[in-house]
């Protein structure tokens, strides 16, 4: 049965991958578009989700809109008053949690519940509660959770059905803890072991393998209502440099990128995707500005939106990384540049002063005209729609006792052992 399920998924994914060569952005002048006319009947035919999102947008203040552009992290010793400030003053879209923020499942559950309760009192939209849970090398689940192997081992197993189950199981455990967004999986294609940052975290060295397992993992996550955020668009695999400490520069040309790096992202978008993480990587042959993709209108708008047809949320990799802030521009200038280029959400995982700077830059930009109201509303509407579509609320999915029965359950351990049997390894859950 397992083999049959896998064969079906292989066929489906290969059909997607076969159509994933990305076309060029169309060139030449386009005819002028006549102004839109009001059509009451069209309003009545509007998708209910779209109509509700637009209704929520109209009722939001500029401060609430600017706050929706931030996902923030905080130190482990942060007081409740400081967390309340994120919610009351900055109106943040969400939080990213790290192992420093909790010691076990009970404290993780309590933290997520507290953040949601605080937000429910003052903000019009529920929070993204996010984490990095790829499995293996990058795993944030506390002790007792089901820890799956690195993506490289999963890819070598060659069983997309099991990859799907891994994503589904991780989603169940995240949801039990109150987490609704996962910065995973890695869709970078990595051939060289010199890429020490990503060699274990990538499913493989070919577009086909990464597309197959990446889309399977994403489908597993999303089957349980957890938003997948694959990374690092448009591709961090073809370098041995780490964007945490420098800006990697990759000399890939357009044809190579369309037939390689972009293929897994195209497959994921075609299969249904609400968010993507954009990396801090420069491709000077494609964008002569030398800007990282997270600041580049070429990648954020021309490639991601127009070429790939992506309608969801673009989220930066952490902007405290040197690949982003090593620019000669100030943080404020970088943020305005990124947002106007097409970025929707800034991930700022550590430093309160930088989080405050980014919020102020966005708010000032909206007030003084450097960011247009149309541009602001475009991103906020995408965020609202994603939150509505995935049924986000500020209520916990489970009470604590039920959540603890789900987290690290025997059923989940059995799936881990099934996968470990196929990878030829035996890894106990933590």
Domain boundaries, the chain: 2-15+62-423
- With a cut of 50, say whether residue 426 has pLDDT above it: no
Q: 183: Cβ–Cβ under 8 A, 6 or more apart, which residues?
A: 96, 130, 131, 132, 229, 231, 277
Find out whether 315 and 276 touch, Cβ atoms under 8 Å.
Answer: yes
Burial track 239-253 (b if 16+ CB lie within 10 A, e otherwise) = bebbbeeebbebebe
- With a cut of 90, say whether residue 398 has pLDDT above it: yes
The pLDDT of 120-144, averaged and rounded, is: 94
* Pure H helices in 25-159: 40-45, 48-58, 62-67, 80-88, 105-120, 151-157
Which range has the top average pLDDT, 180-184, 252-256, 278-282? Answer: 180-184
Label residue 48 by pLDDT band (50, 70, 90). confident
- Return the minimum-mean-pLDDT range out of 124-138, 232-246, 321-335, 401-415: 232-246
Find out whether 348 and 354 touch, Cβ atoms under 8 Å.
Answer: yes
Label residue 281 by pLDDT band (50, 70, 90). very high
Find out whether 232 and 317 touch, Cβ atoms under 8 Å.
Answer: yes
Residues identified as active-site:
244, 317
Task: Extract the tokens encoding 139.
Answer: 């795993």
Task: Extract the tokens encoding 368.
Answer: 């003084």
Nearest alpha-carbon partner for 95 in 181, 188, 3, 209: 181
The pLDDT of 346-373, averaged and rounded, is: 96
* Residue-level pLDDT at 29: 40
Instruction: Give me the percent of the chain exceeding a pLDDT of 90.
Output: 74
Find out whether 279 and 294 touch, Cβ atoms under 8 Å.
Answer: yes
Instruction: Give me the percent of the chain exceeding a pLDDT of 70.
Output: 85
- With a cut of 60, say whether residue 343 has pLDDT above it: yes
- With a cut of 90, say whether residue 211 has pLDDT above it: yes
The pLDDT of 280-294, averaged and rounded, is: 93
- With a cut of 80, say whether residue 14 has pLDDT above it: no
CATH fold label, 2-15+62-423: TIM Barrel (3.20.20)
Cis peptide before 232 (omega within 30 of 0): yes
Find out whether 146 and 170 touch, Cβ atoms under 8 Å.
Answer: yes
* Residue-level pLDDT at 324: 84
- With a cut of 90, say whether residue 312 has pLDDT above it: yes
Mean pLDDT of the chain, nearest integer = 87
Tell me which of 230 and 251 has the higher pLDDT. 230
The pLDDT of 66-88, averaged and rounded, is: 95
């Amino acid at each position: 049965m397992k083999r049959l399920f896998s064969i079906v998924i292989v066929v489906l994914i290969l059909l997607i991958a076969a159509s994933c060569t990305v076309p060029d952005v169309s060139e030449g002048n386009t005819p002028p578009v006549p102004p839109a006319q009001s059509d009451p009947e069209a309003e009545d035919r509007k998708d209910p989700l779209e109509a509700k999102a637009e209704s929520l947008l109209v009722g939001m203040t500029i401060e609430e809109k600017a706050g929706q552009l931030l996902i923030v992290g905080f130190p482990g010793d942060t007081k409740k008053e400081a967390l309340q400030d994120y919610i009351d003053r900055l109106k943040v879209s969400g939080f990213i949690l790290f192992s420093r923020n909790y010691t076990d499942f009970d404290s993780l559950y309590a933290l997520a519940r507290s953040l949601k309760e605080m937000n429910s009192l003052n903000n019009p939209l529920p929070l993204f509660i996010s984490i990095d849970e790829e499995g293996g090398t990058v795993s944030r689940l506390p002790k007792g959770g089901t820890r799956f192997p690195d993506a490289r081992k999963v890819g070598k197993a060659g069983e997309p059905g099991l990859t799907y189950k891994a994503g589904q199981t991780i989603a169940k455990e995240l949801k039990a803890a109150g987490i609704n967004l996962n910065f995973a999986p890695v869709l970078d294609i990595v051939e060289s072991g010199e890429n020490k940052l990503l060699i274990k975290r990538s499913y493989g060295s070919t577009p086909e393998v990464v597309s197959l397992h990446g889309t399977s993992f994403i489908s597993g996550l999303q089957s349980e209502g957890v938003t997948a955020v694959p990374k690092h668009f448009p591709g961090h695999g073809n370098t041995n440099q780490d964007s945490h400490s420098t800006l990697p520069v990759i000399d890939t040309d357009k044809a190579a990128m369309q037939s390689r790096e972009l293929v897994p992202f195209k497959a994921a978008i075609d299969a249904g995707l609400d968010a993507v993480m954009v990396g801090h990587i420069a491709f000077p042959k494609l964008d002569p500005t030398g800007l990282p993709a997270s600041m580049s209108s070429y990648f954020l708008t021309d490639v991601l939106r127009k070429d790939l047809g992506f309608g969801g949320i673009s989220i930066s990799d952490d902007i405290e990384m040197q690949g982003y802030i090593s620019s000669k521009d100030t943080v404020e200038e970088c943020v305005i540049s990124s947002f106007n280029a097409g970025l929707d959400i800034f991930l700022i995982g550590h430093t309160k002063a930088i989080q405050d700077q980014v919020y102020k830059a966005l708010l000032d930009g909206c007030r003084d005209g450097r960011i247009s109201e149309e541009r602001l509303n475009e991103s906020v509407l995408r965020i609202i729609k994603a939150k509505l579509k995935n049924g986000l609320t500020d209520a916990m999915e489970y009470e604590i006792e039920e959540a603890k029965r789900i987290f690290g359950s025997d059923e989940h351990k059995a799936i881990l052992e099934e996968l470990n049997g196929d990878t030829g390894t035996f890894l106990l859950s933590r």
